[in-house]
Amino acid sequence: MPSPPTALRPLPFVPEISLHLADSSAGLFDAADGEFHSDDPPPFWAFAWAGGQALARYLLDRPETVAGSVVHDLATGSGIAAIAAARAGATEVVATDLDPAAEAAAGRNAAANNVTFSNKAVARPDVLLAGDVFYSPSVAAEMTQRLRAARRESTLVLVGDPGRGYFPERLFERVAEYSVPVPAALEETETLVTAVWRMR
């Protein structure tokens, strides 16, 4: 899928972080003429999704959550939560994504924010982050399995979710809630109430 044009922009909700993002008038499939092809992932990384923004805000406001910790940002997208973890004092940050273009974008965004992280997953991180990953049944099932496996290893699991339809709320407790500005072209609204959840 063709990549949308991006520019480095500060985020109104997390002004400490700037990301290479598509224009606020762009939709997820605009670069592909409105078509989705399952063999070519859409450019999720070109947008600051509400769940990632909420996680970033939470970590920057409560740096003790990750300070001195090894942190893995799963399905990192733009890298926003990983960048916030690095800024908040994590000793090691790993940002992984199934889409190589997302890992490359996260790396560009890390450099723009003067932080570094790797994309080599660690066996047992202290903290596992996942922003906005419950958007489809298949992805939600896979993510739930991975997060529960990490939690069984005593990893702190934090998820940012704006009420996506496949979020397994029963497995989590809410630790924060925000009203996050989002592009109307992406979400058909200008703000999403978004929570940060800790896995039980």
pLDDT exceeds 90 at position 191: yes
DSSP 124-150: S-SEEEEES--SSHHHHHHHHHHHHHH
pLDDT exceeds 60 at position 36: no
If you average pLDDT over every residue of the chain, what do you get? 93
Cβ within 8 Å of residue 92, ≥6 positions away: 70, 71, 117, 118, 122
Q: pLDDT at position 128, please? A: 98
DSSP SS3 for 30: helix
DSSP SS3 for 109: helix
Domains of the chain: 48-199 (3.40.50.150)
Residue pair 74/146 in contact by the 8 Å Cβ criterion: yes
Q: From CA 200, how far away is CA 29, in angstroms rounded?
A: 35
pTM of the predicted protein model? 0.93
Closest CA to 149 of 199, 183, 191: 199
Tell me the mean pLDDT in the region 48-75.
98
Q: From CA 199, how far away is CA 183, in angstroms rounded?
A: 28
Pick the range with the lowest mean pLDDT from 23-37, 40-54, 83-97, 149-163. 23-37
Q: pLDDT at position 185, please? A: 87
pLDDT exceeds 80 at position 32: no
Closest CA to 88 of 108, 111, 59: 59
Higher pLDDT, 27 or 85: 85
Write the single-letter amino acid at 106: A
